[in-house]
Structure 1
Amino acid sequence: MAAVSAGILLYRSVDSETEVLLVHPGGPFWAKKNEAAWSIPKGLVDPGEDHLDAAKRELFEETGVTLSSEPRLLGTYKQPGSKSVEVWVAKADGSEEPDPSVSSQFDIEWPPHSGKREFFPEVDRAEWFVLEEAALALHKGQVAMLDDLRRFLSE
């Protein structure tokens, strides 16, 4: 069975521009990558876990942000490989400033074949992007979310 992730596409309006909150993966593989490296806050849904609850949990675990508005389902997006991401959209009220220092950590052998284990944050940065910049920053499998957000905002 394919893995399912859930996430929140948090947006806000600043000076008549729509911005979205994106996170940058931590660890040495992503350290020097920026374009097409960012993601919405998301993660795997635990067995038996409600998908929206998983999305809210991941948003908090990766950014420290708790929602002030009730999210609406935006859609399900197929990612490269067999994973899909169920995405909810929510409007920020201005109090949602991300703090990636709360991010959980993972460990890997680093440098490779050294026998040493190093710990890295799951997320090393969280930033607001205007939609045009977000389209360049996001993984290619997530860019379609921005088009759906534009449609959602025009309803």
Structure 2
Amino acid sequence: MAGRRSAGLLLFRTGDVGVDAGAGSGTDGVGVEVLLAHMGGPLWARRDVGAWSVPKGEYVPPEEACEAARREFEEELGLPPPEGPYIELGEIRQSGGKVVTAWAVESDLDPDRISPDTFQMEWPRGSGVVRAFPEIDRVAWWSLEAAGERIVAGQRVFLERLADRLGE
């Protein structure tokens, strides 16, 4: 697994948030919310804690990480990536060895508009039946605190870096 690289975009919005965010919102008024993606497929279907991620995907240099993040955003969510300015959040190494690089960008995306890419896998395992599943099954806006409880542990630092950059 060492040597694998991913890049992604962490959307955030500020101000009077949480008004129409529904059940996915953990806010109570003014603040910062981030858009996280829930990993798709049967292995993640019943999980919440640790099953959310920055929308991201793998790339291979010489592709530039920021361009890969924009491309992967569109592939994962089925929507064009928001325009900048982008806030560099650096990179982290996840427990499996994958290096993830992320940027934050302010945007307000309607979670109901996503049209995610799919992948195929044998399910149930050993059945010989190959089925298609969405790479992400939903996205939702979360307060930084609520996002910190749900995001893959290794990516939590991106939330901390965003809060630092925004002075939260």
Q: 1:8 and 1:78 mapped to 2: Cα distance?
A: 16
Equivalent runs, 1:1-155 vs 2, <5 Å? 2-15=3-16, 16-63=30-77, 64-92=79-107, 94=108, 96-99=109-112, 101-154=114-167
| Consecutive unaligned residues in structure 1, runs of 5 or more | none
**Offset at residue 70 of structure 1 (A):** 2.4
**Offset at residue 50 of structure 1 (A):** 1.3
RMSD in angstroms over aligned alpha carbons? 1.6
TM-score, normalising length from structure 2?
Answer: 0.85
Q: Give the 4+ runs in structure 1 shifted more than 3 A.
A: 98-101
SS in 1 for 2:53: coil
Q: Would you say the 8 A contact 2:5–2:60 is kept in 1?
A: no
TM-score, normalising length from structure 1?
Answer: 0.91
| Consecutive unaligned residues in structure 2, runs of 5 or more | 17-29
SS in 2 for 1:143: helix
**Offset at residue 66 of structure 1 (A):** 2.1
SS in 1 for 2:81: coil
Residue 132 to residue 38, structure 1, CA distance change in 2 (3 Å)? same
Q: Would you say the 8 A contact 1:62–1:100 is kept in 2?
A: no
